Amino acid sequence: MSTRLTPSQTVGPFFGPALIRASDGRMADGGARGERIVIEGRVLDGAGAPVPDAVIEIWQANAEGRYDHREDTQEKLLDPNFHGFGRAGTGASGEYQFHTIKPGAVAGEGVALQAPHINVCVFARGLLHHLMTRIYFPDESAANSADPILNLVEPERRATLVARDAGKSSPRILRFDIVLQGDHETVFFDV
């Protein structure tokens, strides 16, 4: 009997039809408190080509800085109209979009506050494990410079975690492209 390696195969593409319908990127309709924002971007591979069948999940605190989770016992208000979780699939050009609110600062380790941010999880073909990253806000430079997690990242790579304003609009549109590998690879966290 000889032993041969089994040829590798990519995962999927099964994300689109199987996972996307959780919110279709709409998280802040109706009476949710806070500044309305739209997060939009593209998922790109290492060659700069779009990834048309990825799924992006986000979860975040509400405008007060509190998560809708039983382990978040802060005395900040919960928002019954905002639960902080969304899922969106990418389209043919790798694009995705979320309609949400800007989160407040959240408690970190000890007394440190974390800058307002959105947690991001990426599922895509070829990934055996999902990727975790964060979106920080460009108008929070003081909070960003004090953020304990952002400060773990080399200074020259921190920009890959900060969204860009896409121009004046209402609601405010923020651009956050996710680059899976290569020269402009988004910083991913090993959690």
Dihedral, 71, 153, 150, 172 alpha carbons, nearest 10: -110
User: Tens digit of pLDDT for each residue in 132-188?
Assistant: 999 999 999 999 999 999 999 999 999 999 999 998 888 999 999 999 999 899 999
What CA–CA distances, in Å, run from 137 to 127, 164, 175? 27, 8, 10
pTM of the model: 0.86
Alpha carbon separation from 148 to 12, 62, 76, 114, 151 (Å, rounded) = 36, 20, 21, 7, 5
Domains and CATH numbers, the chain: 15-34+42-179 (2.60.130.10)
Query: Which of the two residues, 106 and 30, has the higher pLDDT score?
Result: 106
Question: What does the pLDDT look like over 71-119, one tens digit per residue?
Answer: 888 888 888 889 899 999 999 999 999 999 999 999 877 778 899 999 9
Phi, psi for 161 (deg, rounded to 5): -105, 0
Task: Please give the Cα distance from 24 to 20 (Å, whole number).
Answer: 6
